[in-house]
Structure 1
Amino acid sequence: MPHLFDDVRPEDLRHADSYKWTTHPAEVLPLWVADMDFPVAEEITDALHRRLTRSVGYPQLQGDPALLDLLAARQTARGHPDLPREGMWLLPGVVPGLYASVLGLTGPGEEVLTHTPIYPPFLSAIEDHGRRTRPVPLLQQESGWEIDWGALEDSVTPATRLLLFCSPHNPTGRVWTREELERLGEFALRHRLWVVSDELHADLVLDGEFVSLASLGADIAQRTVTLTGPCKTFNTAGLPIGAAMSANPALIARLQLATRGVMAHPGALSIEMWRAGLTHGERWLGEVLDYLKGNREFLAQELRHNLPEVRFTPPQATYLAWLDFRAFRWSDEAYEFLLREARVGLNNGPTFGPGYQGFLRLNFATSRAVLQEALARIVHAAS
């Protein structure tokens, strides 16, 4: 039986308001920037229409009480009981939260650890303000991507202050196990590191169980800032909003002080969208997760049968596939090659950290027909 998302077509998506679909020429299929091609939940669009019938003046600038209550309940369900209200800060997005964290929890010249490959703003948040990146590459195993614990220990110096952590991980799609997170928490406590855990993709788990780092005990919670937002979950990147939360309000105060006067507040429609998603978006999200699982399996099958040279571990979360094309003679220009020869636009590996030339990130949150056509083009170009 056809699914609603099967009707998603390039001609409907390629409009002037879409960054994703207008960056490349019209003949290119864009499977790159992390937003979904699926229509937004009707419950959200209906809520936005109703909101426009009321005032769109300044929203609650100290934090919308109804939204903060919903977020507190969500965090309680994830093992963060009694999150103090002064430990919750609404932001104009998760990326500003990364920057605020680096500015508030480190000083110029100090070091920040992060696992690579990693979502590019992790790296720019460190480097743009004179901090030093200590990249710790993940291990690429046959079973998937894993933390290199020895390299992590070796990367710590007396100047290391902060660990920027991505959970679930972008771009590999790893869902970290409780045992891995407990070991990471012990590492951070032993070295007296602050931890910022970007949990933006926590609602998009396809396999396994998501565990929030700060839920593992009072000690690690006191040293952790958790970042979250709705834009990946509900496909609303054009309505930017996020939140920084901590059991230790002093950490949030440091972020606020470091960005005073330059951090914007979220807009009224963004607040309304997030409230509607948290209240009424579960049915839509369930349909999305089912469709993403089907696309993930289709992608894995096509690569296994038609491009076995590509190393790929199906992601446990997100709608992003991290593909290793290094077996091909053109891997040094993999991004340019597939853009030119296959007319498919992906994300280039080197933007995710040093040493990832030949890797590409593919966004499979689109209709099965678009995904099938993109893969057929890639297979033909690579043959």
Structure 2
Amino acid sequence: MVNYDEIIDRRNTACSKWDGQGGDYIPLWISDMDFKSAEPILNAITKRVNHGVFGYTHDEKKLEEIVYDFYKKEYNYEIKKEWIVLIPSVMPGATMACRVAKGDIMFNTPMYPHIRRLPGEVNCNALEVPLKLVNDKYTFDFEAMKEALDENIKVFVLCNPHNPVGRVYSREELENVIKFCDENNLLLVSDEIHSELIFEGKHIPAFTINEKAKNISITLASPAKTYNIPALPLGFAIIPNEEIRKIYKKEILGVFGHPAVLSVEAFKSAYTECDEWKNELLQYLKENRDYVEERVSRIKGLKINHNEGTYLAWIDAREASIEYPYKFFLDKTNIKFSDGVDFGREGFIRINFGCPRANLKEAFDRIEKVLGSVNSFV
């Protein structure tokens, strides 16, 4: 059993999440977890470090076999190994995927900041169309998406499971995404980096939906988020369409080099040795999810939509009469959330609950002290 309640001091370790703040600062923002990676990954890395030589790697065929086996086991789907293209990580892969279509990009908001930065990296324009709330659940607004389309839009970027709202999209929703892209000649770029962090429903990889999906999609994934190894970057693109794959490989030629040797070891171990660790992680994260939703429901002025996957949650603070929630909580409680403005929505914050529950308890105790509980206003 892994002790996910263990408090690990990450300060002064060149850590983006924890460094730069003093005192009783609680970081609940950037999306990495405060848990040790799985023991098999640590052992694989240690063994390679002890070898002492870090030359160029040549493990592409082995990694392709691992990805093939993973999708067969996880999704009962046999991909072809030639569909797999190794990439440094998901976001560089997404940048190159958007360049394939040579046009503007559409995506839905709220959307995590790096996808919102894609237009600057691709040198194109972006069209942001809000998701809509239906029965307190975020979903696509296809009418608004169709109305917003213009002839310059060539790419639709999907995030599934969705960061930050935590949706795990249904087959029907994904079928409608494929239909929308196919009817409007859009390349579908699907970011699926959180695909193993599922609490409810089942993740459905975009390219598995139907034959149309295989012909118009680039699916991107990586073990980085699930196994907490984002600083050991290595991912892959799955591109069934031969012509799209050929263009993609041409785009990345000379840009993406050999994968780093420790990243290769972590990748192999994550997908072949860490199921037990992952299952325990999912149970702990689900309990954290439930804890966060319950605590938010008790605090005056805050709302939260139900999370189905990822270790991220989207909190609506618009009824709390706070001008700038991100700054308010940082100044008044010394808690750093992700700023909803960066996701395209004012009045919201994103919380990362991939941490020991004691950190969440302390954070919400502070918030409740500042805002008050719902019961105290009845």
Deviation at 1:3, TM superposition (A): 6.8
Flag the 1:274–1:170 CA change in 2: closer, same or farther, 3 A.
Answer: same
Q: Which amino acid aligns with 2:280?
A: E
Flag the 1:142–1:325 CA change in 2: closer, same or farther, 3 A.
Answer: farther
Deviation at 1:256, TM superposition (A): 2.7
The equivalent position to 1:347 in structure 2, one of 329, 335, 338, is 338
The answer for the alignment partner of 2:249 in structure 1 is: 256
The equivalent position to 1:382 in structure 2, one of 352, 371, 377, is 371
Q: Which runs of 5+ in 1 are unaligned?
A: none
- Counting only pairs closer than 5 Å after superposition, residues 40-119 of structure 1 correspond to structure 2 as 40-54=37-51, 55-60=53-58, 64-77=60-73, 78=75, 80-85=77-82, 87-106=83-102, 110-119=103-112
Cα pair 1:105 1:254 within 8 Å, conserved:
no
Deviation at 1:339, TM superposition (A): 0.3
Cα pair 1:161 1:194 within 8 Å, conserved:
yes
Q: Percent identity?
A: 29
The answer for the alignment partner of 1:144 in structure 2 is: 137
Deviation at 1:56, TM superposition (A): 1.9
Cα pair 1:115 1:138 within 8 Å, conserved:
yes
The equivalent position to 2:260 in structure 1, one of 259, 267, 286, is 267
The answer for the alignment partner of 2:125 in structure 1 is: 132
Cα pair 2:110 2:343 within 8 Å, conserved:
yes
Equivalences, count: 370
Deviations 1:136-164 (A, max 9, x none): 10013442211112111112212111111
The answer for the alignment partner of 1:370 in structure 2 is: 359
User: Is 1:166 matched with 2:165?
Assistant: no
The equivalent position to 1:329 in structure 2, one of 321, 337, 358, is 321
For 2:207 and 2:122, how far apart are their aligned partners in 1?
26
For 1:308 and 1:318, how far apart are their aligned partners in 2?
25
- Counting only pairs closer than 5 Å after superposition, residues 100-249 of structure 1 correspond to structure 2 as 100-106=96-102, 110-249=103-242
SS at match of 1:20: coil
Deviation at 1:14, TM superposition (A): 2.0
Moved over 6 A (4+): none
Cα pair 2:27 2:337 within 8 Å, conserved:
yes
Cα pair 1:342 1:380 within 8 Å, conserved:
no
Q: Which runs of 5+ in 2 are unaligned?
A: 373-378
For 2:211 and 2:130, how far apart are their aligned partners in 1?
29
Flag the 1:3–1:269 CA change in 2: closer, same or farther, 3 A.
Answer: closer
The answer for the alignment partner of 1:360 in structure 2 is: 349
Cα pair 1:83 1:246 within 8 Å, conserved:
no
Deviation at 1:129, TM superposition (A): 3.1
Higher mean C-alpha deviation, range 74-83 or range 276-285? 74-83
The answer for the alignment partner of 1:36 in structure 2 is: 33
The answer for the alignment partner of 2:312 in structure 1 is: 320
Deviation at 1:347, TM superposition (A): 0.4
The answer for the alignment partner of 2:272 in structure 1 is: 279
SS at match of 1:211: coil
For 2:350 and 2:343, how far apart are their aligned partners in 1?
9
Question: How much is the aligned-residue C-alpha RMSD, in angstroms?
Answer: 1.7
Flag the 1:100–1:372 CA change in 2: closer, same or farther, 3 A.
Answer: same
The equivalent position to 1:311 in structure 2, one of 303, 309, 318, is 303
The answer for the alignment partner of 1:25 in structure 2 is: 22
For 2:170 and 2:56, how far apart are their aligned partners in 1?
42
Cα pair 1:175 1:208 within 8 Å, conserved:
yes
For 1:23 and 1:320, how far apart are their aligned partners in 2?
22
Cα pair 1:144 1:313 within 8 Å, conserved:
yes
Flag the 1:3–1:220 CA change in 2: closer, same or farther, 3 A.
Answer: closer
Cα pair 1:244 1:252 within 8 Å, conserved:
no
Flag the 1:137–1:301 CA change in 2: closer, same or farther, 3 A.
Answer: same
Higher mean C-alpha deviation, range 208-217 or range 171-180? 208-217
For 1:3 and 1:231, how far apart are their aligned partners in 2?
19
Q: If the length of structure 1 is used for normalisation, what is the TM-score?
A: 0.92
Q: Which amino acid aligns with 1:339?
A: L
SS at match of 1:89: strand
Deviation at 1:64, TM superposition (A): 2.0
Cα pair 1:24 1:345 within 8 Å, conserved:
no
Deviations 1:242-292 (A, max 9, x none): 111111133233223223323233211101101001111100001110000
